[in-house]
């Protein structure tokens, strides 16, 4: 039960809206709110927005344009390379099968690093009039008559007043990320996150000797790769890896469901070290220096386990809500859209002069009208299927490699024999029935 | 009222510094800039003094446009006025040119108001020369106390200060009248947990910018690369030589390793 906190000295800090968390969700909500004329404060724990944030990372022009219409024609361009080729690498112990697609419009998406991208958004937001308090942690929500009406932060109020600063607000937007402590405090979800609901992603930024990245990946200037890695790279566990090209560095990482890591007692760095030892990646990263190392949880609890998205005086956006589509690699995107929808709902609440659930329900309505809701429904069983069908990650990448190997080195043999051998491998590895079943399972998600 | 000037420098975060082996220059990409940690001590001290006495704090830095961020951070520490010395002509300055530029700017500021205390970090973690503080003091003709580890007493009425100074032989206790320039050692002041008010103020703070053209005039040949007799010929990372033997406990038993270590120590008469 939320704690009633009455009699707090109010008045020094008074805002229309307070946003907790300076990621894309919080920042886009903030930008839109100040544009609509609301006095808004965003509170960020890190040294700057982006300091504590991590993603794979690709940013999509269409969603960014919603908050920065002039993007990508901006000063201090916050991204690395345009994504000109995208695809999947199926990695087995022996080698790799690559599926690559050259994109028609290179301005559609870019590889990016969060420290830079979020800092760009925050600069943009400050210029628009958003107040941002960095290095400040929200300790608790302030309640009045069962409605959230502000936050208390760890910093003292002023030089003279040493008590933790209280900030009054009509609406508090929780953009606190996967570790959704305040969402729990707000009573919007009644339990902490389970290990089976989150993916632990571990990422390195690697630098190869000058020119080597371009040479090894066949990259031209201002061209970029965004690759998802499947198979042995996650040690055959449910999860994926990724490989994105930045200006002069590579972002490489692996994400695996946390419960699986716990079962196997695997340390985050061990996952990456093992992945990097695979023949294909070992060659690719030969001579590389690790510039950055990071890890982050990805909220993959799915729509079935969503917190309530709104309460009296409070909304939840971005990762804190679980707005991630792992199948289509959307996270940042969804965070931005949720920030936009939250700002719309808040505008609606101000028009009504009502900041209770009744008016803020507008946010959920907007969400349900959006494509995100449809997508989240579509993948609602994805987590369960992935977690209970390890063969998808173990068998298929290996199978693909062996089939390709036989097909491409079939010279000097009767081709019918080769095809027979391929079918025999399939039968041995998965069985034709199993193959059909797996396809049906995945098909059920997609159709 | 105590009038304090703090001089700071923005430096690359050298905890993860890397040098390009081909060019011998710093790889700045991806390396975040921070305020030199010893300058943070100076800012912290200014903040503490402001809490105890009525004080005005002016913070100055010389650097590229992004050094503005260091000055904004200084506002979190209670800076009342922030000044950025920024011009291409200032670039490439060694300690001589830097102290000239800073001293001229401070002299200009002193036409308006005289400073009682000048606080500098003992050295910057990127160059480690520890020359700019004393260099500025010398040019301004004021006394300097380097490596200050403690303020024992500050008497704003009699306008004097008693400080502890770290030397190789021990601690010197010195008394000095204002004005005085101190260079700060790391234990001099704890890092304050500044109020929300300061954090918010810092976000919108904009420094006054001085360049080579004004508002004060500089002697051109004393600025930047031109005014710097120091030439960096080569920067390199000294090679780490490991002469120790490494035994893998998978291959050798712990007892074996221990007895091997003991053998070596006995061999060298260390046991």
Q: What is the CATH number of the domain that holds A238?
A: 3.30.9.90
Q: Which of A256, A238, A258 is nearest to A384 (CA)?
A: A238
Which comes out higher in pLDDT, residue A118 or A425? A118
Q: A181 and A206, same structural domain? A: no
Q: A133 and B51 in contact by Cβ < 8 A? A: no
| Helices A24-35 and A114-128, axial angle in degrees (round to 10) | 20
A21 plus A134 within the same structural domain: yes
Residue A99 lies in a domain: no
For residue B179, whether the previous peptide bond is cis, meaning omega lies within 30 degrees of 0, is yes
Q: Are residues A68 and A126 in the same domain?
A: yes
What would the mean pLDDT of A326-343 be, rounded to a whole number? 91
The pLDDT value recorded for residue A410 is 75
pLDDT bucket at A30, cuts 50 / 70 / 90: very high
**Predicted local distance difference test score (pLDDT) of residue A9:** 44
Q: What is the pLDDT of residue B172?
A: 93
Average pLDDT of span A178-185: 94
Q: Residue B14 — pLDDT band, cuts 50, 70, 90?
A: low
Mean pLDDT, rounded, of chain B: 88
Is the residue at A80 inside a domain? no
- Top residue of B50, B53, B197 to mutate, by most chain A CBs within 10 Å, is B197
Residues B32, A115: C-beta atoms closer than 8 Å: yes
Residue A232 pLDDT: 87
Residue A395: what pLDDT? 81
Contact A136 B194 (CB under 8 A): no
Kindly state the average pLDDT of the residues B2-24: 77
Check if the interface score ipTM surpasses 0.85: no
Using the Cβ of B191 and the Cβ atoms of chain A, whether some distance falls under 8 Å is answered with no
- Nearest CB among A155, A157, A158 relative to B193 is that of A155
Question: What is the distance between the alpha carbons of residues A229 and A217, in angstroms, rounded to a whole number?
Answer: 15
For residue A6, pLDDT over 60 is answered with: no
**Residue A150 included in any domain:** yes
Contacts of B194 in chain A (CB under 8 A): 155-156
Of B51, B197, B203, the CB nearest to A157: B197
Confidence at A166, pLDDT banded by 50, 70, 90: very high
CB–CB of A295/A275 below 8 Å?
no
Q: What is the dihedral of CA A159, A160, A165, A169, to 10 degrees?
A: -100
Same domain, yes or no: A117 and A55: yes
- The total of structural domains in chain A comes to 3
Report pLDDT for B20. Answer: 61
Any idea which architecture B2-222 has in CATH? Answer: 3-Layer(aba) Sandwich (3.40)
Residue A433 belongs to a domain? yes
- Shared domain for A115 and A212, answered yes or no, is no
pLDDT at A3: 38
Q: Does residue A172 lie in a domain region?
A: yes
Q: Which two tokens stand for residue B40?
A: 């943070």
Residues of the domain holding A155: 13-72+108-191+302-378
B194 to chain A, any CB pair closer than 8 A? The answer is yes
pLDDT at A139 over 60: yes
Interface test with A, best of B196, B201, B204 (most A CBs within 10 A): B196
- CA-CA-CA-CA dihedral for A373, A379, A380, A385, to nearest 10: -170
Mutate to test the interface with B, among A291, A292, A294 (most CBs of B within 10 A): A291
Q: Do A224 and A258 fall into the same domain?
A: yes
Same domain, A133 and A62: yes
Q: Which of A155, A210, A249 sits opposite B196 (nearest CB)?
A: A155
Facing residue for A134 by CB, picked from B22, B51, B199: B199
When the pLDDT of each residue in chain A is averaged and rounded to a whole number, the result is 89
Give A291→chain B minimum CA distance, Å: 8
| A98 within domain boundaries | no
CB B7, CB B120: distance < 8 Å: yes
B199 interface with A at CB cutoff 8 Å: yes
Note whether B65 contacts A: Cβ–Cβ < 8 A. no
Residues A136 and A272 in one domain: no
For the beta carbon of residue B42, count every other beta carbon within 10 angstroms. 32
Nearest to A245 by CA among A279, A275, A219: A219
Beta carbons of A172 and A18 less than 8 angstroms apart: yes
Are residues A64 and A130 part of one domain?
yes
By the 10 Å C-beta count (0-12 exposed, 13-18 middle, 19+ buried), A381 is classed as middle
Distance of CA A411 to the CA centre of its chain: 45
Contact status of B157 with chain A (Cβ, < 8 Å): no
On the question of pLDDT at A242 being above 60, the answer is yes
Same domain for A56 and A174, yes or no, is yes
Q: What is the pLDDT of residue A389?
A: 78
B188 or B24, which is more confident?
B188
Determine the pLDDT at residue A2: 37
Statement: residue A4 has pLDDT above 60:
no
Question: Which residue in chain A is spatially nearest to B202 when comparing CA positions?
Answer: A133
Whether residues A187 and A202 share a domain: the answer is no
Say yes or no: A173 and A293 in one domain.
no
Q: What residues of chain A have any CB closer than 8 angstroms to a CB in chain B?
A: 13, 41, 113, 115, 126, 131-136, 153-159, 161, 165, 205, 210, 248-249, 289, 291-292
Residue B197 is predicted with a pLDDT of 92
Q: How far apart are CA B254 and CA B249, in angstroms?
A: 6
Determine the Cα–Cα distance for residues A219 and A381; give it in Å rounded to an integer. 37
């Amino acid at each position: 039960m939320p704690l009633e906190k009455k009699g707090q000295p109010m008045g020094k800090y008074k805002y229309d809206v307070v946003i907790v968390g300076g990621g894309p969700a919080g920042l886009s909500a903030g930008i839109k709110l100040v544009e609509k004329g609301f006095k808004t404060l965003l509170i960020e724990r890190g040294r700057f927005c982006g300091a504590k944030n991590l993603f794979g990372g690709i940013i999509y022009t269409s969603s960014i344009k919603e908050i920065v219409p002039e993007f990508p024609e901006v000063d201090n361009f916050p991204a690395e390379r345009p994504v000109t080729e995208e695809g999947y690498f199926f990695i087995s112990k022996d080698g790799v099968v690559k599926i690559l697609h050259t994109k028609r419009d290179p301005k559609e998406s870019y590889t990016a690093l969060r420290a830079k991208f979020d800092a760009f958004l925050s600069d943009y937001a400050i210029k628009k009039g958003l107040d941002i308090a960095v290095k400040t942690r929200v300790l608790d929500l302030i309640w009045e008559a069962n409605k959230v009406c502000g936050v208390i932060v760890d910093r003292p109020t002023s030089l003279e007043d040493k008590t933790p600063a209280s900030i009054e607000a009509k609406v508090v937007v929780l953009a606190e990320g996967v570790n959704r402590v305040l969402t729990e405090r707000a009573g919007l979800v009644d339990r902490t996150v389970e290990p089976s609901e989150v993916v632990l992603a571990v990422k390195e930024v690697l630098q190869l000797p000058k020119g080597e990245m371009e040479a090894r990946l066949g990259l031209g200037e201002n061209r970029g790769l965004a690759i998802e890695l499947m198979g042995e790279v996650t040690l055959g566990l449910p999860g994926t890896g990724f490989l994105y090209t930045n200006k002069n560095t590579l972002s490489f990482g692996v994400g695996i469901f946390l419960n699986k890591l716990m079962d196997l007692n695997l340390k985050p760095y061990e996952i990456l070290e093992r992945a990097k030892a695979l023949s294909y990646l070992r060659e690719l990263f030969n001579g590389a220096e690790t510039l950055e190392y990071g890890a982050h949880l990805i909220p993959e609890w799915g729509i079935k386990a969503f917190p309530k998205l709104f309460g009296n005086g409070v909304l939840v956006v971005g990762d804190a809500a679980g707005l991630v589509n792992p199948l289509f690699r959307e996270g940042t995107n969804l965070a931005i859209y949720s920030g936009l929808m939250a700002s719309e709902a808040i505008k609606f609440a101000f028009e009504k002069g009502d900041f209770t659930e009744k008016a803020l329900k507008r946010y959920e309505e907007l969400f349900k009208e959006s494509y995100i809701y449809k997508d989240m429904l579509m993948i609602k069983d994805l987590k369960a299927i992935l977690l209970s069908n390890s063969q998808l990650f173990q068998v298929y990448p290996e199978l693909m490699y062996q089939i390709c190997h036989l097909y491409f080195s079939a010279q000097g043999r009767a081709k019918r024999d080769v095809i027979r051998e391929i079918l025999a491998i399939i039968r041995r590895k998965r069985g034709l029935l199993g193959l059909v079943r797996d396809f049906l399972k995945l098909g059920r998600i997609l159709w | 009222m105590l009038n304090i000037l703090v001089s700071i420098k923005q430096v690359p975060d050298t905890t993860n510094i890397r040098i390009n082996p081909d060019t011998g220059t710093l790889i700045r990409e991806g390396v975040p800039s921070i305020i030199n940690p010893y300058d943070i001590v100076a800012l912290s001290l200014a903040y503490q003094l402001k809490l105890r006495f009525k004080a005005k704090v002016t913070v100055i830095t010389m650097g590229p446009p992004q050094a503005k961020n260091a000055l904004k951070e200084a506002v979190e520490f209670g800076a009342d006025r922030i000044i950025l010395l920024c011009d291409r002509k200032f670039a490439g300055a060694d300690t001589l040119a830097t102290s000239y530029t800073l001293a001229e700017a401070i002299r200009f500021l002193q036409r308006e108001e005289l400073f009682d205390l000048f606080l500098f970090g003992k050295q910057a973690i990127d160059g480690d020369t520890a020359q700019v503080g004393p260099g500025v003091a010398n040019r301004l003709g004021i006394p300097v106390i380097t490596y200050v580890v403690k303020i024992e007493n500050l008497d704003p009425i009699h306008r004097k200060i008693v400080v502890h100074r770290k030397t190789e032989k021990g601690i010197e206790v010195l008394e000095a009248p204002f004005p005085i320039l101190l260079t700060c050692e790391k234990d001099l002041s704890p890092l304050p947990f500044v109020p929300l008010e300061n954090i918010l103020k810092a976000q919108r703070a904009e420094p006054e910018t001085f360049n080579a053209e004004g508002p004060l005039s500089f002697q051109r040949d004393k600025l930047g690369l031109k005014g710097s007799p120091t030439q960096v010929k080569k920067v390199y990372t000294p090679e780490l030589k490991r002469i120790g033997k490494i035994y893998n406990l998978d291959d050798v038993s712990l007892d074996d390793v221990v007895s091997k270590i003991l053998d070596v120590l006995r061999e060298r008469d260390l046991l």
